């Protein structure tokens, strides 16, 4: 079974989950896709986690 990799369009912010890198963004014509694991310290978990991690409001 292939694991999912997460990619985000740098132009519009659309996120894709796929086993292989999509060729381009489906929503905009000039969006470059960046793999979230390579772009964020904690990968996809950092992208989808709440911004307020310490529990304070």
- pLDDT tens digits along 4-56: 888 889 999 888 888 988 888 989 977 789 888 655 566 666 667 666 655 55
Q: What is the pLDDT of residue 54?
A: 59
Whole-prediction pTM: 0.65
Q: What is the pLDDT of residue 4?
A: 82
Q: What is the pLDDT of residue 49?
A: 65
| Contact status, residue 47 vs residue 17, Cβ threshold 8 Å | no
**3-state class (DSSP) for residue 8:** strand
Q: What is the pLDDT of residue 13?
A: 87
């Amino acid at each position: 079974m292939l694991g999912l990799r997460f990619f985000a369009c740098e132009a519009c912010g659309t996120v894709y989950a796929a086993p292989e890198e999509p060729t381009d963004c489906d929503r905009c014509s000039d969006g470059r896709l960046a793999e979230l694991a390579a772009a964020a310290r904690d990968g996809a978990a950092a992208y989808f986690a709440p911004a307020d991690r310490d529990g304070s409001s």
